[in-house]
Amino acid sequence: MFNYQIIIEYDGTNFLGWQKQKKGRTIQAYIEKTLKKVLNEKINLIGSGRTDKGVHAVAQSANFFTKNEIKKKNKFLLSMNFFLNKTGISLIKICKKKLDFHSRFNAKMRTYTYLISNREGGLVLNKNRAWQIRRRLNHRSMQSACNLLRGKKDFSTFRSASCNARSPIKTIEQAKVIKNQDTIRIIFKSKSFLQQQVRSMVGCIKYVGEGKWSVNNFRKIIRLKKRSSCAPPAPPEGLYLSKVDY
């Protein structure tokens, strides 16, 4: 038995998310179907984590076990991408791992990036790939809000009602805002996140950037630990799983 890790890029616009379901298009299901076609055996793909409907990935990590060694990795990638060509999914790397490697449980850090287009004109190149906000945002206030999210905290305010995590306590190692002309990127790093946590935090940070909330208001809603205090979550099209560290 052999264990392989693959790095995947995808546009989540037309998918119901990562995890396979009985009905509907999912990233995991499409890749498993293609793996079966290329390797001629049923494959169970293990992802580093789930991404929701409409969320994208620059470098999703996953692993799978196969009976046969993949000796020609470039040929394997070419074959996989040939069949995945029109799906919005691309395999960008494959590497052989030890049998005890697990994409989810061995992950030490996950990085998510949220992309905001802060301009009046409509989106063309970034349509379905960024959140367009026409009202001018104060990125410095947004950074001040991000600073309050760093460290080990109870993130119940940003936790989806359907989240099944055992604890709302997470540790955010990095939360920063990068502005380049009309583009704002908000980057979060943590070992793991609650369901819809990133989008919920971005929705609240946007309120601060617009001036609807002060930084002190944002501090209070974190301390309240109530989902009802949270601003509407940011839409999925601006969210990217950008890196998984091991």
Catalytic residues: 52
Helix or strand or coil: residue 150?
A: coil
Contact yes or no for 60/11 (Cβ under 8 A): no
Contact yes or no for 206/133 (Cβ under 8 A): yes
Q: Token pair of 4, please?
A: 């392989």
Q: How many CB atoms lie within 10 A of CB 96?
A: 13
In single-letter form, the type of residue at position 185 comes to R
Note the Cα 192 to chain centre separation in Å.
11
Contact yes or no for 13/88 (Cβ under 8 A): yes
Tokens 């005890």, located at residue = 100
Q: Rounded distance, CA 147 to CA 91, Å?
A: 35
In single-letter form, the type of residue at position 215 comes to V
In single-letter form, the type of residue at position 141 comes to S
